[in-house]
Chains A and B, each alone.
Chain A
Amino acid sequence: MPSLPRVVVPIAADGSLAPVDIAKSSDGLLELVFLINSEEPESASLAPIASALARTESAPFSDLEACRRAMERCGAGSAQTFVDRYCRLTALLNAVGSERETTWGRKDVQRQLYRMAGVSHTRSRRLHSAECLLGFIAAEGLPVVVKPVDGVASRELWILRNENDVREILQSRSRPENFAGMFAETFIMGQPPHAPYLGDYYSAEVFRDRSGNPFISVLSDRIAPREPANREAGVIFPTHLDNTEAAVLLRTADAAVDALGEHHGAFHVEVKQGVPQPDVIEVNGRLGGFVHRLVLAGTGVDMGRMALLAGLGRAADVRLDWRRCVALLMFQPPVDALRIEAGPNRRELMDLPGVFSVDRLVSHGAVVDGRGENGGALARVWLTADDHDMLHRRVGRVVETLDERFVLVDRNGRRVCDTRWTQQISRHQYKECE
């Protein structure tokens, strides 16, 4: 029996596939070696988990040579990752003896490449100071998006729609060095979604084999983000778009991967139905967040395994036949909320129709972090339903329950209440807070 390829996988606690799922998905496909960043405080808690699952090496990720030595030590022939911020490192580990440069961690450079390839018309500028940002706004007008060139999971993402938003970012970043590593780009106007509770952008998972052929291309919808900071609110499979509309977006996503010079692997591409043509928000060099669990629940297909297969340059003959619709709801608090005074218990959420998991629930007393990863969601609730209409009703019921049960206060201790988003999601007229 031929030996399995040995692959090193840089991991973190916030990857799009958890170490336990990586271990399950790689079973019989490859020999797994986890690589942990010794410079990260979380490595101490991650190490026993990783070691319990597979061989585990540790190295400082800021030292490429040390990581290469770790890879040589364990005899791995290639690297793959599910962590955005490690895509660049992983590409460099795979690029020994190659002249090819990587663009991961350089979203400003990637934007230029999308424009050159014709899959984006979005203009952008690297920022060095407040004046630089104001100059860009003066030239392009609002709205404008400001984010780190190596940003991940909406962290430190700003959408500037009006003068107040501009004032807020300037106040929070009063010194020129606060703009280091940030860039601005014009906001992509999406076409109206199929339903008010959906966002105007889509995510494509594109898995390609060594010859660059996509063997999986699948689109998901997004639940309408909560304003004003456009915090991610969830994912829905399959998409509401018809086959023709979906095919246009999937072709754009595939062309965006080409624009970056990438060949094989798993890619997560965020895209909008723009006017007159789609426009790419960004491409990530890994499986999309939450995709593995949702697709498994909806089709039974192990997307983690498919992603690992693509990373090896191989393909699978697989079809995603949706047995049911699936959604992840990430419940975002109103933007003024600072602290949680009371909240629901996990059991009452688990008992709502269609809910099969509540894997995150922030408890009372906690401080809300609206600019953290995924906008600081207070709850993550996973649902299934027979069709999109049933799924919408179920998501609406969960949002209403969460809105009722979470008691949130602002910095002055006053109850925070903003039901606009709840109404948008549930379609119900919703009672005002007392």
Chain B
Amino acid sequence: MTVENVAALMAELVKMDYVAPDESFFDVGGTSFLSLTLISRIESDFGVKLSMLDVVRAGTPVNVAELIDAGR
């Protein structure tokens, strides 16, 4: 479920209908500023605190979800 939830969160932030599991947040209009919001929402929704570099390196819902699952 984490992948779908992360993808939905990213889609909400970039105002798209959906973000595919292997699409990078930064390829679909995600900015540094939006990634701060993403990190904050991940912390509140999943209880996992990620660094900005973690999110930038991960990029896609699949990779970000892996980080979240590993951090739980």
Counting CB contacts under 8 A, is A248 at the interface?
Answer: no
Interface centre among B23, B36, B53 (most CB of A within 10 A): B53
Question: Given contacts A346-B16, A359-B29, A361-B29, is CB(A49)–CB(B36) below 8 Å?
Answer: yes
Interface residues of B in 1-57 (CB under 8 A from A): 14-18, 23-24, 26-29, 32-33, 35-36, 39, 51-53, 56-57
Residues of A near B53 (CB, < 8 A) are 20, 23-24, 53
Known contacts A23-B52, A52-B52, A346-B16; 20 additional CB pairs below 8 A are A20-B32, A20-B53, A23-B56, A24-B56, A45-B33, A49-B33, A49-B36, A52-B36, A52-B39, A52-B51, A345-B16, A346-B14, A346-B28, A347-B16, A356-B27, A357-B27, A358-B29, A359-B29, A360-B29, A361-B29
For B14, give the chain A residue with the smallest CB separation: A346
Counting CB contacts under 8 A, is A238 at the interface?
Answer: no
Q: Once the chains bind, are B32 and A358 in contact (CB under 8 Å)?
A: no
Q: CA of A260 to CA of B37 in the docked complex: distance in angstroms?
A: 43
Q: CA of A19 to CA of B31 in the docked complex: distance in angstroms?
A: 11
Pick the contact of B28 from A20, A48, A52, A358 — CB < 8 Å? Answer: A358
What class of interface size applies to chain B in its complex with A? Answer: 20 to 34
Pick the contact of A20 from B15, B18, B29, B35 — CB < 8 Å? Answer: B35
- The interface of chain B, by Cβ under 8 A from chain A, is 14-18, 23-24, 26-29, 32-33, 35-36, 39, 51-53, 56-57
Interface centre among B26, B27, B36 (most CB of A within 10 A): B27
Residues of B near A358 (CB, < 8 A) are 27-29
Q: CA of A39 to CA of B7 in the docked complex: distance in angstroms?
A: 37
Question: Given contacts A52-B52, A346-B14, is CB(A24)–CB(B29) below 8 Å?
Answer: no
Question: Given contacts A48-B36, A347-B17, is CB(A53)–CB(B52) below 8 Å?
Answer: yes
Residues of B near A45 (CB, < 8 A) are 33
Residues of A near B16 (CB, < 8 A) are 345-347
For B11, give the chain A residue with the smallest CB separation: A347
Counting CB contacts under 8 A, is A350 at the interface?
Answer: yes
- The interface of chain A, by Cβ under 8 A from chain B, is 18-20, 23-24, 45, 48-49, 52-53, 345-347, 350, 356-361, 382
Q: CA of A350 to CA of B36 in the docked complex: distance in angstroms?
A: 24
For B20, give the chain A residue with the smallest CB separation: A350
Q: Once the chains bind, are A357 and B28 in contact (CB under 8 Å)?
A: yes
For A53, give the chain B residue with the smallest CB separation: B52
For A18, give the chain B residue with the smallest CB separation: B32
Q: Once the chains bind, are A346 and B52 in contact (CB under 8 Å)?
A: no
Q: Once the chains bind, are B57 and A24 in contact (CB under 8 Å)?
A: yes
For B17, give the chain A residue with the smallest CB separation: A347
For B15, give the chain A residue with the smallest CB separation: A346
CB B19 to nearest CB in A, in angstroms, measures 9
Residues of B near A20 (CB, < 8 A) are 26, 32, 35, 52-53, 56
Interface centre among A19, A20, A345, A359 (most CB of B within 10 A): A20
Residues of A near B29 (CB, < 8 A) are 346, 358-361
Residues of A near B39 (CB, < 8 A) are 52
Residues of A near B23 (CB, < 8 A) are 350
3 closest residue pairs by CB, A with B: A357-B27, A52-B52, A49-B32
Can you name 27 A-B residue pairings with CB atoms under 8 Å?
A19-B32, A20-B32, A20-B35, A20-B52, A20-B53, A23-B53, A45-B33, A48-B36, A49-B32, A49-B33, A49-B36, A52-B39, A52-B52, A53-B53, A345-B16, A346-B14, A346-B15, A347-B17, A347-B18, A350-B27, A350-B28, A356-B27, A357-B26, A358-B27, A359-B26, A360-B29, A361-B29
Residues of A near B28 (CB, < 8 A) are 346, 350, 357-358
CB A43 to nearest CB in B, in angstroms, measures 13
Residues of A near B17 (CB, < 8 A) are 347
Residues of A near B24 (CB, < 8 A) are 357
Q: CA of A356 to CA of B35 in the docked complex: distance in angstroms?
A: 19
CB B27 to nearest CB in A, in angstroms, measures 4
CB A223 to nearest CB in B, in angstroms, measures 20
For A356, give the chain B residue with the smallest CB separation: B27
